[in-house]
């Protein structure tokens, strides 16, 4: 034990002697701390200033080619990039401010700083959307989007052909106001419903015969045939006649030569063996033929007579047998106006459609005009299915 203590004591004394200054020419060692320095890397890695955030709106809505959609309900989606938080949005459709839905969510995701989503109802044709995003503390960013809404084609399971004739340019007091408009509007409506349409206006006797013959020939390649006529019509000896604009019968016996027997159209349809045939006659106008013509040609009664509908056919009249129909004071005749309206309603059978037409005409005429039909259809027919 004494040996250990003596060893420790000796080591301490030796250390103390070594720490003593040596000869007079030896100087003590000075110690100090320098100011920290930074490595200058400017020449190696030039400093690039952080660019300012550009404000922008990117529309992300799903659309078909050429910014066209096939449904009226459109979801306006956009991604907004801005240097400051977005305080509120304003969306207008065709210059009309849209009420933002309560469940509108402004959220972040990995690809977009601010996500906007709002449902709107488009009109048919072109639509202009304008979105404004207002930033907190001032400033805004805006963008405009044009979207075209086109209705999808009507589901048609069979080939359809229509012949549409509107005669109005009769001489003298026999001239009518609406048939040309009626024929034009009916032709447009039928095209939208999947019909191939042969359209004619103000036909003379020769023109009407050629149109009906052409219709009969083409109809052989179709499953559905439709004939629409607006203009003067009369009955003689129980037969119905459609009046060309140049008709001038000098006696009752000449009516069959000067005018077109409506049965001719039904015969063409039967020969074509189409599955469904539709005849619409808005031909009982209240603008009756002038007295001189009636005295020369004559007619048994006002309006048209009832005709038998061949199997698979429906014949629709603007009013009842022997009655006259209103020509109308607007663009269309009373009956055709109601028919155009009914054709816009999808998923109704042709029977339901004509019931709708009848109710509308009765309402508009204060129960003075009652459309009617004769039919031998063997199944349901729909003008449009959706």
CATH (domain of 66): 2.60.40.10
Strand, helix or coil for residue 202: coil
The predicted model scores a pTM of 0.61
Last residue of a domain, one of 149, 173, 190: 149
Pick the range with the lowest mean pLDDT from 59-73, 259-273, 283-297.
Answer: 283-297
One domain, residues 262 and 144: no
Residue 119's closest CA among 144, 102, 131, 101? 101
One domain, residues 341 and 322: yes
One domain, residues 97 and 216: no
Looking at the predicted structure, is the pLDDT value of residue 160 above 90? yes
Q: Answer whether residue 10 is part of any domain.
A: no
d(CA 163, CA 229): 8
* Tally of domains in the chain: 2
One domain, residues 140 and 177: no
One domain, residues 136 and 200: no
Name every residue whose Cβ is closer than 8 Å to that of residue 280 and which is 6 or more positions away in sequence.
Answer: 226, 227, 228, 229, 316, 339
Q: Which residue has the tokens 């399971």?
A: 157
What's the confidence (pLDDT) of residue 285?
A: 57
Q: Answer whether residue 293 is part of any domain.
A: yes
Mean pLDDT of the chain: 82
One domain, residues 367 and 287: yes
Read off the pLDDT of each residue in 238-245 and give the average, rounded to a whole number: 91
One domain, residues 95 and 171: no
Other beta carbons within 10 angstroms of residue 52's beta carbon come to: 7
Taking only the tens place, the pLDDT of each residue in 302-312 is: 668 778 777 89
Q: Answer whether residue 196 is part of any domain.
A: yes
Looking at the predicted structure, is the pLDDT value of residue 102 above 50? no
Read off the pLDDT of each residue in 347-353 and give the average, rounded to a whole number: 95
Domain span holding position 245: 160-375
The answer to whether the CB of 221 falls within 8 A of the CB of 272 is no
Last residue of a domain, one of 101, 126, 149: 149
What's the confidence (pLDDT) of residue 93?
A: 95
One domain, residues 232 and 292: yes
Looking at the predicted structure, is the pLDDT value of residue 103 above 80? no
Q: Answer whether residue 65 is part of any domain.
A: yes
Read off the pLDDT of each residue in 18-25 and give the average, rounded to a whole number: 48
Lookup: tokens for 367: 């129960």
One domain, residues 223 and 302: yes
d(CA 337, CA 311): 28
One domain, residues 203 and 78: no
CATH (domain of 290): 3.40.50.1460
The answer to whether the CB of 299 falls within 8 A of the CB of 236 is yes
Q: Answer whether residue 50 is part of any domain.
A: no
What's the confidence (pLDDT) of residue 39?
A: 43
One domain, residues 187 and 125: no
Looking at the predicted structure, is the pLDDT value of residue 3 above 90? no
Backbone angles phi, psi at 59, to 5 degrees: -75, 135
Pick the range with the lowest mean pLDDT from 213-222, 278-287, 374-383.
Answer: 278-287
Q: Answer whether residue 330 is part of any domain.
A: yes
Q: Answer whether residue 127 is part of any domain.
A: yes
Last residue of a domain, one of 99, 125, 149: 149
One domain, residues 97 and 167: no
How far is C-alpha 225 from the chain's CA centre?
A: 26
pLDDT band at 212 (very low <50, low <70, confident <90, very high): very high
d(CA 139, CA 106): 18
Strand, helix or coil for residue 3: helix
The answer to whether the CB of 130 falls within 8 A of the CB of 144 is yes
Q: Answer whether residue 11 is part of any domain.
A: no
């Amino acid at each position: 034990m004494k040996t250990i203590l003596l060893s420790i004591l000796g080591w301490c004394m030796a250390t103390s002697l070594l720490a003593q200054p040596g000869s007079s020419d030896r100087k003590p060692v000075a110690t100090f701390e320098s100011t920290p320095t930074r490595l200058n890397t400017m020449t190696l890695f030039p400093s690039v200033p952080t660019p300012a955030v550009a404000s922008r709106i990117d529309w992300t809505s799903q659309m078909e080619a050429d910014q066209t959609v096939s449904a009226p309900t459109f979801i306006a989606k956009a991604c907004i990039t801005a240097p400051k938080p977005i305080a509120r949005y304003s969306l207008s459709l065709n210059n009309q401010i849209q009420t933002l839905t309560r469940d509108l969510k402004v959220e972040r995701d990995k690809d977009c700083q601010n996500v906007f989503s709002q449902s709107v109802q488009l009109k048919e044709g072109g639509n202009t959307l304008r979105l404004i995003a207002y930033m907190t503390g001032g400033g805004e960013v805006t963008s405009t989007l044009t979207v075209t809404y086109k209705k999808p084609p009507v589901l048609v399971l069979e080939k359809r052909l229509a012949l549409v004739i509107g005669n109005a340019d009769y001489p003298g007091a026999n001239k009518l106001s609406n048939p040309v408009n009626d024929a034009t509007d009916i032709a447009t409506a039928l095209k939208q419903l999947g019909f191939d349409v042969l359209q004619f206006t103000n036909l003379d006797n020769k023109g009407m015969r050629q149109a009906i013959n052409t219709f009969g020939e083409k109809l052989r390649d179709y499953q559905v045939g439709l004939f629409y006529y607006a203009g003067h019509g009369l009955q003689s000896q129980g037969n119905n006649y459609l009046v060309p604009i140049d008709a001038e019968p000098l006696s009752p016996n000449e009516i069959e030569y000067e005018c077109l027997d409506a049965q001719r159209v039904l015969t063409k349809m039967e020969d074509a063996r189409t599955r469904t045939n539709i005849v619409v006659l808005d031909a009982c106008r209240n603008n009756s033929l002038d007295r001189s013509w009636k005295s020369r040609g004559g007619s048994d009664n006002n309006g048209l007579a009832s005709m038998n509908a061949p199997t698979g056919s429906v014949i629709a009249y603007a009013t009842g047998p022997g009655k006259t129909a209103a020509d109308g004071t607007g663009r269309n005749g009373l009956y055709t106006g109601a028919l155009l309206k009914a054709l816009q309603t999808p998923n109704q059978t042709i029977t339901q459609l004509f019931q709708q037409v009848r109710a509308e005409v009765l309402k508009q005429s204060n129960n003075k005009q009652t459309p009617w039909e004769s039919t031998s259809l063997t199944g349901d027919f729909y003008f449009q299915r959706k």
